[in-house]
Structure 1
Amino acid sequence: MVTFLTALGIVLFFLGLLLSIAWHELGHLATAKMFGIRCTQYMVGFGKTLWSRKWGDTEYGVKLVPLGGYVRLVGMIPPAAKPRDSSGKPMSRWRAMIEDAREANSVELEPGDENRQFYQRAPWKRIIVMAGGPAMNLILAVMLFAAIMMGIGVPQQTTTVNTVSTCVLPADAATTDCPPGAEPSPAMEAGMRPGDEIVAVAGEPTPGWQAANSAIREHTGPTQFTVERGGERRTLTVDLIENQVVARDAEGEIVYKTGPDGEPVTDDRGFRVPATETAGFLGITFAQERSPLTVGESAERMWASVVGVADALIGLPAKVDDVFRAAFLGEERTVDSPVGIVGASRIGGEVLAQPIPMTDRVVFLVNMLAGVNLFLFAFNMVPILPLDGGHIFGALWEWVRRGFARLFRRPDPGPFDVAQLMPVAYIVVACFVVFSVMLLVADVVNPVRLTQ
């Protein structure tokens, strides 16, 4: 059964990734057709075509290598402002790359395309076309996050006892096993049981988890606990003791350790290490239940996800060395290591096979897919070619140039020649291919594992 669920999770998440790519390209296709730009191809994947069908001007299909997709628009590169030098002088390698890209772009032009080319559209229309793909990923991410947060809900701590510790252990103990002669936990000694609902501590009502947790931390010595068990209220006298517990802030959120440089401290697998503090200790864990969030709470969490993705994107270049070492030198990968489509799909399979409630498994997979779409949005908006952000930058620059020309009554400078940046695009593509291969190798021979 575990093998079946793992395989099912891999397939489902892989299909989710392909649908996210197709959804992204649909944003380009729909907006381009809306503005009368001819689209010759709509493809999911690269390389050899596995299946295709032509409707109208556009060929729709699926290709062999599922590492992305594309919509081919005619006239992405404007014609040269000056005629090509026919003096016989050899062109520089840079110029040759530019002219080759321009020539390849013009091959698809057909009679009737005189006014259906991308570069002929106003800059604001081109911005909409190129932003249409990332915007679709952002919309999908928001829809998925909203469905989880406001529909299914997120785990919230309750005042119900989930487990009772057998003995007293500090929060940073390496194991949960009780050593010989260990002191019984106050909760165990007082007869507290899983399922008990703590309704008051030291005579003060505890309407929510944060009130109960704070009251426990603030008291030591014999303390009266009012619990509800089986529909009846009971009073237990618990001898609370001081112990090293996980540090929490005023809102009850876990406080994590930081190094001298202010950076988070992580363990060998990349998990952040919680800070500890001395406080009252009962020896229980609280049960959790899913509760829907409000629109405001959901928006706050979504924004935190956006900030997290931005930080991950900025820190991506620093991860290249780690991925190389994991792929070719056998070094262990941390949980925050970048993964490709293969690695993400494998994690999806691992999650679906976990012995946890099915709701939690599905929520984790949907959250992962939402996070991937959020990353696709941010990554594609980076202002370098061949990413969508590079074309958006070119259109914005053209808009600015034409605005200054009108302001100072100068001749129209014409469309921005994006071909001038094609050599940079080739370098970016080469780097992306190399990094993708490294990720593929690492995901196969040394995958990220959420569980041991």
Structure 2
Amino acid sequence: MGIVGIALFALGIAASIALHEAGHMVAARAFGMRVRRYFIGFGPKVWSATRGHTEYGLAALPFGGFCDIAGMTANDRLTAEELPHAMHSKPAWQRVVVMLGGVAMNVVLAMAITYFVAVFAAIPNPYADRTPRVGELVCAADQAADGTFEACDGPGPAQRAGVQVGDEILAVDGRRVEAFSQVRDVVSARPGEEVRLTLRRAGEELTVPVVVEAVDRYSQATGQRVSAGAIGVTSAPVENAMASFGPLEAVPATARLTGQMVDATWEGLLSFPGKIPGVMASIFGAERDVNGPVSVIGASRVGGELVQRSMWESFWMMLASLNLFLALFNLVPLPPLDGGHIAVIAYERMRDWLRRARGLAPGGAVDYTALMPLTYAMAALLLTIGVFVMVADVVNPVRIFG
């Protein structure tokens, strides 16, 4: 494991969090709001210094950060000096812009990283056709303890069902797939069952039922063999999978790839709750899902592996993906996330619109004390999940290179 790589990726995470909070701070100051504190980390104070009206500092637990804006809620106690600069007294659109400042900073950082990688190295080609395509038809083989596949002969399940080399796999059981890994995941989880592959061959679509064969796979987590499904299909390599771009060409390429990454991140967020039981099971020896959630510890370990193998393009693109995750995750409309504050502002506006329609005066700022139980519950849930993921990253870390 590359210690330097781990440290570099951890530093990249810290910088991403710092810039997220800086986005809030810059936007708040632009609208005349008072920023009391700008801290990286939570918990006991490690270091701080005051400049102007703001205390800048580092805290002991490097799991996030915060930007304390005076009057962020109507329940915030204000000094006479802070009162004219209170956030809750500003127009709703300004408050929304401030809450989106961190999200915007993460998106800009992700795009900047992607742009420079596109110009100076290579990025996943956003124009490449990544439709899963059959590259080879083989028999379904068991896996040995050393990771190699044991000998087998004869046609595999897919070949017996009529699948041909060059077929494009469009869907599995009617559900669209965009990567061969999605096909593999479905098949692996269904040994002995039938799956229906929607294929495109010579411009025409057809559906082929395939009976999944049960095979043995070696579990790195437990050191034991486990049963998995296989149909004897390998993926054809994607043509021009990586590409470099000139300074001007890189602009639309960066925008297109960022959009694709946002889509993938959004799908990952939607599937996040369903992956938590697997993370908890991995603590006790179950197979760790390489596509499952990781903590700062796990992400830094993977970053260390990439640096150790001089895979700098992947290192930087992983950091770009992390920034997009931070951006979208913070948009979840629940406190204490940025999206939760935006939801409250939207509620105030909608409520006041309805009150005006009834000839009533605006209802005033929301009393955040009523939201504290939900805020505490969400914070406790996020902390609990974070602890479980960190434990899993220590006892059964994700290994992308086996």
Q: TM-score category by the smaller chain?
A: 0.7 to 0.9
Match of 1:129 in 2: 98
Match of 1:141 in 2: 110
Question: What TM-score, normalized by structure 1, do the two folds share?
Answer: 0.66
Provide the rounded CA distance (Å) in 2 between the counterparts of 1:388 and 1:311. 20
SS, match of residue 33 in structure 2:
coil
Match of 1:385 in 2: 335
- Bigger CA drift: 260-269 or 20-29? 260-269
1:217-262 CA distance string (max 9 Å, x none): xxxxxxxxxxxxxxxxxxxxxxxxxx9976454xxxxx48835777
- Bigger CA drift: 269-278 or 363-372? 269-278
Match of 2:259 in 1: 303
What pairs with 1:309-324 in structure 2 (closer than 5 Å)?
309-324=265-280
What pairs with 1:240-389 in structure 2 (closer than 5 Å)?
247=166, 249=168, 255=169, 258=172, 264-266=183-185, 267=188, 276=233, 290-292=243-245, 295-327=251-283, 329-354=284-309, 358=310, 361-389=311-339
SS, match of residue 447 in structure 1:
coil
> Residue 145 of structure 1: CA displacement?
1.9
When Rg is computed on C-alpha atoms for both structures, the one with the higher figure is 1
SS, match of residue 302 in structure 1:
helix
1:313-367 CA distance string (max 9 Å, x none): 011111111111112x22120111100000000000111112xxx3xx1110111
Q: Contact 1:50–1:63 at 8 Å: present in 2 too?
A: yes
Provide the rounded CA distance (Å) in 2 between the counterparts of 1:403 and 1:352. 54
What pairs with 1:110-125 in structure 2 (closer than 5 Å)?
110-125=79-94
1:416 matches 2:335: no
Match of 1:34 in 2: 30
Q: Contact 1:257–1:275 at 8 Å: present in 2 too?
A: no
Provide the rounded CA distance (Å) in 2 between the counterparts of 1:366 and 1:25. 21
Provide the rounded CA distance (Å) in 1 between the counterparts of 2:327 and 2:66. 15
> Residue 290 of structure 1: CA displacement?
4.0
Provide the rounded CA distance (Å) in 2 between the counterparts of 1:274 and 1:300. 34
What pairs with 1:214-233 in structure 2 (closer than 5 Å)?
none
Q: Contact 2:137–2:234 at 8 Å: present in 1 too?
A: no
Provide the rounded CA distance (Å) in 1 between the counterparts of 2:138 and 2:40. 49
Provide the rounded CA distance (Å) in 2 between the counterparts of 1:379 and 1:286. 33
What pairs with 1:394-413 in structure 2 (closer than 5 Å)?
394-413=344-363
SS, match of residue 312 in structure 1:
helix
> Residue 297 of structure 1: CA displacement?
4.3
Match of 1:66 in 2: 62
Provide the rounded CA distance (Å) in 2 between the counterparts of 1:26 and 1:347. 27
Question: Does the C-alpha gap of structure 1 residues 171 and 244 become closer, same or farther in structure 2, counting only changes over 3 Å?
Answer: farther
Question: Does the C-alpha gap of structure 1 residues 133 and 177 become closer, same or farther in structure 2, counting only changes over 3 Å?
Answer: closer
Question: Does the C-alpha gap of structure 1 residues 331 and 116 become closer, same or farther in structure 2, counting only changes over 3 Å?
Answer: same
1:42-100 CA distance string (max 9 Å, x none): 0000111111111011110111111000011122221xxxxxxxxxxxxxxxxxxxxxx
Amino acid at match of 1:47: G
Amino acid at match of 2:29: K
Provide the rounded CA distance (Å) in 1 between the counterparts of 2:46 and 2:293. 29
Q: 1:49 aligns with which of 21, 34, 45?
A: 45
Question: Does the C-alpha gap of structure 1 residues 406 and 151 become closer, same or farther in structure 2, counting only changes over 3 Å?
Answer: farther
Match of 1:193 in 2: none
Q: Contact 2:140–2:232 at 8 Å: present in 1 too?
A: no
SS, match of residue 383 in structure 1:
coil
> Residue 149 of structure 1: CA displacement?
3.1
Match of 2:205 in 1: none
SS, match of residue 83 in structure 2:
coil
Amino acid at match of 1:137: N
Q: How many percent identity over aligned positions? A: 33
Provide the rounded CA distance (Å) in 2 between the counterparts of 1:304 and 1:287. 17
Question: Does the C-alpha gap of structure 1 residues 172 and 145 become closer, same or farther in structure 2, counting only changes over 3 Å?
Answer: farther
Provide the rounded CA distance (Å) in 2 between the counterparts of 1:334 and 1:390. 30
Provide the rounded CA distance (Å) in 2 between the counterparts of 1:387 and 1:144. 25
Aligned alpha-carbon RMSD (Å): 3.6
Aligned residues: 335
- Bigger CA drift: 265-274 or 340-349? 265-274
> Residue 289 of structure 1: CA displacement?
6.9
Q: Contact 2:111–2:255 at 8 Å: present in 1 too?
A: no
Provide the rounded CA distance (Å) in 2 between the counterparts of 1:350 and 1:395. 43
For structure 1, list consecutive stretches of 5 or more residues without a partner in the other structure: 79-101, 157-168, 182-242, 250-254
Provide the rounded CA distance (Å) in 2 between the counterparts of 1:72 and 1:180. 63
Amino acid at match of 2:295: G
